[in-house]
Structure 1
Amino acid sequence: MSGSELPWVEDAGSVAPKDARSLSKIFFDRLQHLEEGTHEYQYARNTLIEMNLSLVQYAASRFRGGSSDIDDIVQVGTIGLIKAIDRFELSRDVAFSTFALPYITGEIKRFFRDTTWAVHVPRRLQELRVDLSRAKERLSAELDRDPTVRELAEHLEITEQEVNDGLVASNGYTAGSIDVPVGQDDGSQGRDYADILGEDDPALDLFEDLHTLAPLVEQLDERERRIIEMRFGREMTQGQIGEVLGISQMHVSRLLSRTLDRLRSGMLAER
C-alpha cells in the first residue's frame, strides 16, 4: 500500500481536534497494513503523533504550577502519546483520545514521581497533592481566602484526615540542606540544622505502610477481608477461621497465602 493512498496533511499540528479524530481513524486503518520501518509507515505514525499533540497539551495543563517546566511535561507526555499510538487498535470499541489519555497522564505522573519528589511519598499521596493544589487554587478564588481543611475535604469528597495526609505529604516535594545554618534569638552563633535533628521514629514506616495498605484491603472481596481481619485483627488460628467459614484449614491457608501475595504485590507497586 503506497503513501499516496493516505491523505496528505500539510501541517498536522494545526489540525483541529474534531478533524483529528476522523483523520486519525483513517491513518490507524492504513497503519496496520503498512510495514514497520517503511517511509509510508513513518509518515502515517508521525502524522498521528502531530495531529494528537493537543491531547498532550490538555493533559500537561493539569500539571501547571509546579517547579517543572511545561515544555518538559509536554515532552514526557508525548512519550505516552507515542506508546498509545503504537498499542492502539481500531478493533477496540473506544475512541483513541479515551485510550491515549491514561498513557499520557501516566508518563507525566511517573516523571513527577521519579524526578521531583525530594523524599519517598506513596503514589496515592503524590496524586492527592496535585488534587489539593488545584482545589486550593479554585476555592481561594471563590472564597477570597485560603480554604480550611474541612472545605477542601468537602470539595474533593474525601475525609479531613485524607486532606491532612496530603498536606503533610506535600512537604516531601522539596527539601532543604541539613547543613543550612539555624540562627538563634540571642544573636549568638547558630548551628547547622543537622545538629538539632531528632532521631528517626520507627513508627513512621508503619504509619506509611498502613496508609498504603488500607486501599488495597478495600479491593479484596468480603471473604478475603474477613480472613485478614480474623487472622491479624482477632489473632485467630487458621483452624478457628475454618470453623467460622465452614471450610478446611488447608483451604484457609491457601486463601490467606493468595490474599497476602496480592497485598504484598500492591505494596511493592506503590513504593
Structure 2
Amino acid sequence: MEDRRETTRLLFEQARGTVNGERREIECRIVEINMTVATDCARRYRGRGVSTDDLDQVAYLGLVKAVRGFDPARGHDFLSFAVPTIRGELRRHFRDQGWALRPPRSIQELQTQILAVEGELSQELGRSPRPTDLARHLGVDLEQVLDALAASGCFSPASLDAPTPEGEEAIGDRLGAIDGAFEDADARVTLAAVMRGLTPRERRILELRFFGGYTQAEIGADIGVTQMQVSRLLNRILARLRSRMSDPGPSLSA
C-alpha cells in the first residue's frame, strides 16, 4: 500500500504544470494503480440488492471523479479524498435507485448536502469527517446530521438485473444517462485510456455503455447479440480489468 501511496503522490506532482495529453496519461496511471481502492470500497456495499459488477462500475466512476477533483497542493494524502468520494458515489447510487422507507424530505436534502461536502472536508482535514465536522461545516444541528447518516440505511434498491414492470427489459437498461464524471470531456479521455489493451469489440461495448449512454439492449442491437449476452460481456470485461489492475505486470497504458 505504501508503494501505491508514494507512486500516486509522485504522479500528482508530475502532473503539475502538464496539459492535455500528457496530463491525461498521468491521470490514467493514477486511476490504474488505485482501482483496487475502488473495489475495496464497493465490497462494503455488497449484499444490498446490487450485483458486484454494478457496484464496481459505480466505484470506478467515483475514482475518476476523485482523480479529477484532488488538489495535491493542500498537502493531504490522495486516499483521504478518494475513499469518501468513492463511497459518496456508491451511496448516491443507492439513494437514486429507491428507498424501502422514505425519510422526510429535509433529511433527504441534508444527506445530499453531506454527500457533496464529504470529499472536500476529507481533503481539508486529512481524514474522514466526523458528524460534528459535518454539522459545523453545514451549519446544522448534530442531531440532524446523525439522522441523515442513519437514513443511508433506509434504502433497499432494486437489482439492476431485475425486470421492469412491463417485463421487456432490465431496470439497468433504463439507466442510460451518463454519470456526472463523464460530463467532463477530460474525464472521459482519462478512463478511455485505461481501456487500452482491450479488443476493439470490448472497447466499443464500454464506450457505448459509459460514454454513449446506450442501454444494454441498444448495445446488443449494435453488435448483433442479445441484451443478456451484453450483460455477460460487460461483466467479463470488467472482471478482466480488475484482474489487470491487481497484476504487478505491465500497466494497461504501456
Report the TM-score when normalising by structure 1: 0.39
Q: Which has the higher contact order (CA 8 A, sep 6+)?
A: 2
Report the TM-score when normalising by structure 2: 0.41
Which structure's CA Rg is the greater one?
A: 1
